[in-house]
Chains A and B, each alone.
Chain A
Amino acid sequence: GAGVSQSPSNKVTEKGKDVELRCDPISGHTALYWYRQSLGQGLEFLIYFQGNSAPDKSGLPSDRFSAERTGGSVSTLTIQRTQQEDSAVYLCASSLEASNPREQYFGPGTRLTVT
């Protein structure tokens, strides 16, 4: 079946612009996760959703970052007034549910470059 998809695959934007990153999880997966992978770094946990609810937003790097999920499916990560340090690969993952220690299925990522 279809895996996790993300769009766009690449995004180049000017400093100060807003960007929206999209994630389509695997059908039936109620848990959805966003991560950031900077060059040479590990994965930085940003936020997770169980259904449409995000119980913990403390992983978001600043108030310029926000995320939402509607209909228990698609999620968007929005970065306002982008800065060069926001340049990274943004990964989305989904799993059957958050309450059980299920493995996550990752999308291919969106490579964001802020010039």
Chain B
Amino acid sequence: AQSVAQPEDQVNVAEGNPLTVKCTYSVSGNPYLFWYVQYPNRGLQFLLKYITGDNLVKGSYGFEAEFNKSQTSFHLKKPSALVSDSALYFCAVRDVDFNKFYFGSGTKLNVKP
């Protein structure tokens, strides 16, 4: 069965420091992986996706994610966090056969000044 795990409910980081939000997945076949962000009182916004190609994917707002097939991970990263990055982040995997999307439980990122 397809699934996504975000092992951290919350990540705290100081502004200017690098950040990592973890995601691991379980799929049969090649994964299509996504990251979305949900700001307070706003809808989910697409950040980036991995379909094929380079393992390092660059997305919106300076975020990037590294696909690691051997570790079945797709961690979200940013070299220097901003207070405005504070939000809820969701990792998702797409079931290729059935066009379903499976979302993780979300990780709340707190960036403190």
Contact = CB atoms under 8 A, between A and B. Distances in A.
Interface stretch (B13-21, B65-73, B79-87, B96-104): B96-104
B103 A56 contact: no
Interface stretch (A11-19, A42-50, A67-75, A77-85): A42-50
A101 B51 contact: yes
A101 to B, nearest CB: 4
Contacts of B105: 41-42
Interface residues of B, number: 23
Given A41-B105, A42-B90, A103-B34, A48 B46 contact: no
Which secondary structure characterizes the binding site on chain B?
strand
A54 B56 CA distance: 34
A45 B102 CA distance: 7
A99 B46 CA distance: 18
A99 B101 CA distance: 12
A98 interface: yes
Contacts of B94: 101
9 contacts: A31-B99, A42-B103, A45-B101, A50-B99, A59-B100, A91-B44, A93-B44, A99-B99, A104-B101
